[in-house]
């Protein structure tokens, strides 16, 4: 499978560690360098804005999707290659996932978790077979990894759920796997 478009889920805030922002910027630049289009939530705040500005600054193509009710709150970044305003969050998530060949999850909050779990669930249901990469900067996602293992151990999911996720610790590692 050739990957030419990558959906990035990440925080609309910067988080507690400067390494999260550095990783977002490196990922944006790296995707542009590999001529992979960034698909993301179209906000110009937090890690979302960082990854988009870095990709654009490196000459990359950026496709942003934002629901109408978040245009002001997330400062909709309308100077993107493609900027789409949807009616609902659900529609945003659908357009994001359907316009990408792979998913990368940077540190983020509840919205990033929602997007990730929907991507996992849709993959389980056979709605897509796109690779999903968890970019575990400074071990940020370790509690999530433990929770997923717990869900599997308790019989509420099969081991195949863990098989659908690729855990990586660095931007260089995820870029190499995307290539």
Under DSSP, the state recorded for 19 is H
pLDDT tens for 19-55 read 999 999 999 999 999 999 999 999 999 999 999 999 9
161 versus 97: the higher-pLDDT residue is: 97
pLDDT tens for 87-129 read 999 999 999 999 999 999 999 999 999 999 999 999 999 999 9
Residues 48-74: what's their mean pLDDT?
Answer: 94
Closest CA to 167 of 146, 128, 46, 6: 146
CA distance 31 to 12: 19
User: Range of 91's domain?
Assistant: 5-178
CA distance 51 to 57: 10
Number of domains in the chain: 1
In which region does residue 10 sit, left (phi positive, over 0), alpha (psi from -120 to 50) or beta (all else)? beta
Q: How many residues does the chain have?
A: 179
Please give the model's pTM, rounded to 2 decimal places.
0.95
SS3 for 93-106 is HHHHHHCCCEEEEC
pLDDT tens for 145-156 read 999 999 999 999
Q: What is the CATH number of the domain that holds 65?
A: 3.40.50.450
Q: Which residues contact 100 (CB under 8 A, 6 or more apart)?
A: 5, 6, 7, 39, 130
CA distance 35 to 165: 23
């Amino acid at each position: 499978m050739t990957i030419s478009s990558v959906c990035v889920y990440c925080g609309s805030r910067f988080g507690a560690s400067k390494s999260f922002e550095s990783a977002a910027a490196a990922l944006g630049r790296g995707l542009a360098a590999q001529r992979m289009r960034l698909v993301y939530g179209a906000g110009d705040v937090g890690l979302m804005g960082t990854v988009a500005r870095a990709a654009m600054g490196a000459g990359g193509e950026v496709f942003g999707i934002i629901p109408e009710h978040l245009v002001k709150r997330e400062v909709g970044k309308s100077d993107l290659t493609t900027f789409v305003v949807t009616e609902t969050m659900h529609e945003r998530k659908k357009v994001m996932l359907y316009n990408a060949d792979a998913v990368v999850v940077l540190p983020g909050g509840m919205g990033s978790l929602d997007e990730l779990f929907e991507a996992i669930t849709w993959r389980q249901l056979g709605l897509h077979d796109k690779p999903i990469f968890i970019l575990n900067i400074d071990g940020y996602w370790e509690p999530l990894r433990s929770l997923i293992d717990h869900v599997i151990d308790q019989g509420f999911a099969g081991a195949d759920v863990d098989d659908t996720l690729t855990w990586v610790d660095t931007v260089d590692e995820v870029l190499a796997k995307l290539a």
